[in-house]
């Protein structure tokens, strides 16, 4: 019998209004049957979250909350293998990636934000007054209330806890909607919350889809104070429209079409290895992945050839095997989308340097959503394949001649999430990084994360910043208290 994943409301696992299938994208087989929440179940979750604000959670000191959240982190690490298996069965991602990134970061998001919430102070201002006695103003941070957390499928535990960690550290309660593709680790986290003694109603999970389902019901609910969302830019627009009616506070981490620039004096081998990761990691399904690669003409031919060799050397197969370096796409539906871009690229005049199709992965994986890593060259910069996010293991490589041209090409997009710049010229590194329109610019690295830094996108890639004090700023309301002396 298939595993079942229930809703987690008010500390209890409970059934929903119907059931839907969770498919393992490596095998195409059923991973679990999942309870779907409609408006009624979402309302129950929101009311539980609201009650929890007035219960023990709302009365805890920041140190008590922090200590409980540290226990959540510890318990995730104690149950590491279960979280790992759940994440791999939902996504098909290789164990080498999930064991180094998804699960440890999922745990760290609780520990780090709990510590940060304890260590950040608040502002105070001494004010002079006409009577000479003055006044003191100080700022109190208060939780927002019930926060709706709507998540994507690409880094399920990591991106959910990246929001739930700071939201809880700041004293809020949450109603989480994991992606319909990856419901398992959010559900498992419900068990952990109970095991470590997080009060009932603080963490709630409602499964389902967007429109007409759990996602929309959260964004419409009048008692949800804020929505923090990660996903496609078009979904962000839809959520913003719905959330407008209650004037909810919003934080959006959206799509990207990220550039990587390899300059003439880059360390060639480092740039090649870094770009292999930034294009193909997680089968290209990281919002920070580079889909546009610009290479100085002096290195262009060699770079194209070497990156193609690297792509051809990626090993598909059992995600639980240490030797596997590339998993499948998340679903058959997503594979259809990515393959439609593979077709469009040819129509738009691309040369397909490598890939472009569907690989043989072996009998056990015939029904999975596998796809070939792909490299295009020769497209004009206004081609849809250069301008639209594909979210698969694919990049276009284009030569450039000088710095000004590279910066212009990098910025010629409606997105602005992340960029990678490869150069050993220090002045050039700073000059270029400062001109690029994106929320983060990595110089000689990629996906190197310090959780104190602001994270988010410009243009169509997002609204607001999370990370460190920026997360606390989003998840708290600031109140000024003015005391006349």
Q: Which residue is nearest to ligand 6OD (CB)?
A: 287
For residue 40, give Cα distances in angstroms to 34, 190, 218, 245.
Answer: 17, 20, 11, 19
Q: Is there binding between residue 442 and ligand NAD (CB under 6 A)?
A: no
Q: Is there binding between residue 317 and ligand NAD (CB under 6 A)?
A: no
Question: At its nearest, how many Å lie between ligand 6OD and the CB of residue 449?
Answer: 4
- Say whether 305 is catalytic: no
CA 129, distance to chain mean position in Å, is 48
Nearer of residues 105 and 177 to ligand NAD, judged by Cβ: 177
Nearer of residues 153 and 370 to ligand 6OD, judged by Cβ: 153
Angstrom distance (rounded) from CA 318 to CA 411: 39
Burial (Cβ within 10 Å: 0-12, 13-18, ≥19) of residue 213: buried
Return the beta strands (E) in 108-225 as ranges: 124-127, 135-143, 146-150, 173-177, 203-205
Q: Is there binding between residue 34 and ligand NAD (CB under 6 A)?
A: no
Whether 135 and 127 have beta carbons less than 8 Å apart is answered as: yes
Q: Is there binding between residue 148 and ligand NAD (CB under 6 A)?
A: no
- Say whether 385 is catalytic: no
Q: Which residues contact 411 (CB under 8 A, 6 or more apart)?
A: 435, 436, 437
Tokens of 258: 């990220």
Q: Binds 261, which of ligand NAD, ligand 6OD, none (CB < 5 to 8 A, cut-off by type)?
A: none
Residues 394-433 that bind ligand NAD (CB under 6 A): 417
Burial (Cβ within 10 Å: 0-12, 13-18, ≥19) of residue 153: buried
Site string for ligand NAD, 184-213 (x = CB under 6 A): -------------------------xxx--
Strands ordered across the beta sheet of 476-484: 124-127, 135-143, 476-484
Q: Which of 89, 99, 230, 282 binds ligand NAD (CB under 6 A)?
A: 230
Q: Catalytic residue among 287, 289, 385, 395, which?
A: 287
Angstrom distance (rounded) from CA 391 to CA 332: 14
Lookup result for tokens 């226990």: 71
In this structure, how many other beta carbons lie within 10 angstroms of the beta carbon of residue 243? 21
Q: Binds 457, which of ligand 6OD, ligand NAD, none (CB < 5 to 8 A, cut-off by type)?
A: ligand NAD
Q: Binds 209, which of ligand 6OD, ligand NAD, none (CB < 5 to 8 A, cut-off by type)?
A: ligand NAD
Q: Which residues bind ligand 6OD (CB under 6 A)?
A: 154-155, 159, 162, 286-288, 449, 455
Site string for ligand NAD, 232-261 (x = CB under 6 A): x--x--xx-------------xxxx-----
Residue among 145, 119, 160 at smallest CA distance from 51: 145
Whether 466 and 420 have beta carbons less than 8 Å apart is answered as: no
Q: Binds 349, which of ligand NAD, ligand 6OD, none (CB < 5 to 8 A, cut-off by type)?
A: none
Which listed range, 14-22, 144-152, 276-284, 428-436, lies at the site for ligand NAD (CB under 6 A)?
144-152
- What DSSP assignment string belongs to 414-430? S--SEEEEE-S-HHHHH
Site string for ligand NAD, 263-302 (x = CB under 6 A): ------------------------x---------------
Nearer of residues 152 and 165 to ligand NAD, judged by Cβ: 152
Q: Which of 171, 215, 373, 393 binds ligand NAD (CB under 6 A)?
A: 215
Nearer of residues 162 and 263 to ligand NAD, judged by Cβ: 162
Q: Catalytic residue among 36, 180, 253, 389, which?
A: 253
In this structure, how many other beta carbons lie within 10 angstroms of the beta carbon of residue 314? 18
Angstrom distance (rounded) from CA 249 to CA 448: 29
Question: At its nearest, how many Å lie between ligand NAD and the CB of residue 191?
Answer: 21
Whether 311 and 373 have beta carbons less than 8 Å apart is answered as: yes
Lookup result for tokens 């409602």: 206
Residues that bind ligand NAD (CB under 6 A): 150-154, 159, 177, 179-180, 209-211, 215-216, 219, 230-232, 235, 238-239, 253-256, 287, 389, 391, 417, 457, 461-462
Catalytic residues: 253, 287
């Amino acid at each position: 019998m298939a595993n079942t994943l229930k809703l987690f409301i008010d500390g209890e696992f409970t059934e929903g209004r119907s059931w839907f299938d969770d498919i393992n994208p490596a095998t195409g087989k059923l991973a679990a049957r999942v309870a779907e929440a409609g408006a009624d179940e979402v309302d129950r979750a929101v009311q539980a979250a609201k009650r929890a604000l007035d219960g023990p959670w709302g009365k805890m000191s920041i140190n008590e909350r922090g200590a409980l959240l540290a226990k959540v982190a510890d318990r995730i690490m104690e149950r590491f293998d279960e979280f790992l298996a759940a994440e791999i069965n939902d996504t098909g991602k290789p164990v080498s990636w999930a064991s180094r990134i998804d699960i440890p970061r999922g745990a760290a998001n609780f520990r780090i934000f709990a510590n940060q919430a304890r260590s950040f102070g608040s502002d105070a201002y001494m004010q002079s007054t006409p009577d000479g006695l003055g006044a003191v103003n100080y700022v109190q941070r208060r939780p927002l209330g019930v926060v709706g957390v709507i998540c994507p499928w690409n880094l399920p535990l990591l991106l959910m806890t990246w929001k739930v960690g700071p939201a809880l550290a700041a004293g809020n309660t949450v109603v989480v909607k994991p992606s319909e593709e990856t419901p398992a680790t959010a559900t498992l986290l419900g068990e952990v919350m109970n095991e470590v003694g997080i009060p009932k109603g603080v963490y709630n999970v409602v499964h389902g889809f967007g429109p007409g389902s759990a996602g929309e019901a959260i964004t419409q609910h009048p008692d949800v104070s804020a929505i923090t969302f990660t996903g496609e830019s078009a979904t962000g627009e839809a959520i913003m429209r719905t959330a407008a009616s209650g004037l909810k506070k919003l934080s959006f981490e959206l799509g990207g079409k990220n550039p990587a620039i390899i300059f003439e004096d880059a360390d060639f081998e480092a740039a090649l290895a870094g770009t292999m990761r930034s294009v193909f990691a997680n089968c290209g399904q990281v919002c920070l992945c580079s889909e546009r690669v610009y290479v100085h003409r002096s290195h262009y031919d060699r770079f194209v050839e070497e990156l193609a060799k690297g792509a051809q050397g990626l090993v598909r197969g059992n995600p639980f095997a240490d030797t596997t370096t590339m998993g499948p796409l998340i679903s058959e539906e997503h594979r259809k989308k990515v393959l439609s871009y593979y077709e469009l690229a040819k129509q738009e005049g691309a040369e397909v340097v490598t890939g472009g199709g569907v690989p043989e992965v072996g009998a056990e994986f015939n029904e999975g959503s596998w796809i070939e890593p792909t490299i295009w060259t020769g497209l004009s910069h206004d081609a849809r394949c250069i301008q639209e996010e594909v979210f698969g293991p694919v990049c276009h490589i284009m030569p450039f001649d000088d710095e000004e041209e590279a910066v212009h090409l990098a910025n010629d997009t409606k997105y602005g999430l992340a960029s990678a710049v490869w150069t050993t010229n220090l002045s050039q590194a700073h000059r270029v990084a400062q001109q690029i329109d994106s929320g983060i610019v990595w110089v000689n690295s990629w996906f190197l994360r310090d959780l104190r830094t602001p994270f988010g996108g410009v243009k169509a890639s997002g609204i607001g910043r999370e990370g460190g004090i920026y997360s606390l700023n989003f998840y708290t309301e600031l109140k000024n208290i003015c005391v006349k002396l």
